[in-house]
Amino acid sequence: MLPKSKKLLFAAIVGASALFSGSLAAQDKGLISIIVNDMSNPYWQTEGSVAERTVEELGYEASVSSHVGDTNTESNQVDTAITNGAKAIILDPANADGSIGAVRKAVDAGIPVFIINAEINQQGLAKVQLVSNNAQGAALGAQEWATQLGGEGTYVELMGPPSDNNAATRSNGYETVLSQYPDLVSKASDIANWDRTEGRNKMQSMLRSNPDITGVISGNDEMALGAIVALKQEGKLDDVIVGGFDGSPDAVDAVRAGELAYSVLQPVAVFAEDAARIADRYIRTGETGLDGEKQLYDCILITPDNVDQYVSPFVLEG
């Protein structure tokens, strides 16, 4: 029989061994590569960090990288995931058409791909495509914007890049609603590539040609926040209704401050977590557990009435 002191030492060694073995078992689940657009943008930063945290909670190693909308960079990142033996890739694609080759390359290497946020224009390659319901969100935002304008006025639109299907879906969704208001007249539109600085610059340019507009509708929050900067510089913000799309923390602050009329929250924190859990399920069982490849997540309107329910980035309670 072991003395009490040796029993305790033995128990400690066994406990440490079990803990170490559990750690190794978790590491043995392998690598999941997470490839997003631009981690300097709060939307994609949330997307990447939520997916990373969930992947690690599930016992995998996570690798996060950004392609910043460049398909060559994206292709190289997929090559790295293949070389590193990734068990899965969670991808926010750079381009609806241009990313298809990178996805196919991963699939041909035996790595399942789980698309989030933006679609690719080919079904049957990715295991899932988890995206915001952009048409629903655009209709929600446009209706709120038109109501706040009283159904009349002149306006300009800031749009995302043509390579991203979300940009066209939102713009078309706006048009579907606003076409029902004959006294709302579009004066100009321009592409600002989801970027705040470009939004400011394009807004400045459009203001020179259209100094008396009463509204700005934007395809995302970053462009809307850039437009607000330009309007402030010209002393016109108090006379212009600005609407955004994403539900970013900075946009929510602008809603609280009375500078942004509303934002349409995309549930990126929800579908980023779901993508990680679906990837884990597929790795373990060979099934996604879903009834189809494309899954739509409804958006939520954020206004001064519910802005205090915003409890963390891209999460609204209630």
pTM across the whole model: 0.86
pLDDT at 22 over 90: no
Mean pLDDT on 259-276? 97
Q: Which of 222, 176, 224 is nearest to 203 (CA)?
A: 224
Please name the amino acid found at residue 293. E
In this prediction, residues 144-153 reach a mean pLDDT of 98
Query: What is residue 27's three-state secondary structure?
Result: helix
pLDDT on residue 27 = 54
Pair 151, 181: CB distance under 8 Å: yes
Burial of 61 (0-12, 13-18, 19+ CB in 10 A): middle
Among the listed ranges 54-58, 150-154, 162-166, 246-250, which one has the minimum average pLDDT value? 162-166
- Is residue 184 within 8 A of residue 155, CB to CB? The reply is yes
Unique residue bearing structure tokens 């600002």: 192
> Residue 51's pLDDT band (boundaries 50, 70, 90)?
very high
Q: Please compute the mean of the pLDDT values over residues 271-294 and round it to a whole number.
A: 98
Q: Count the neighbouring beta carbons within 10 Å of the beta carbon of residue 53.
A: 14
pLDDT of residue 318: 72
List the domains of the chain with CATH numbers.
Answer: 11-132+268-297 (3.40.50.2300), 134-265 (3.40.50.2300)
Asked whether the beta carbons of 220 and 137 are under 8 A apart, the reply is no
Going by pLDDT thresholds of 50, 70 and 90, the confidence category of residue 300 is very high
Does 21 score more than 50 pLDDT? Answer: no
The pLDDT of residue 223 is 98
What is the mean predicted confidence (pLDDT) over 171-193? 98
The answer, yes or no, to whether residue 91 has pLDDT greater than 60, is yes
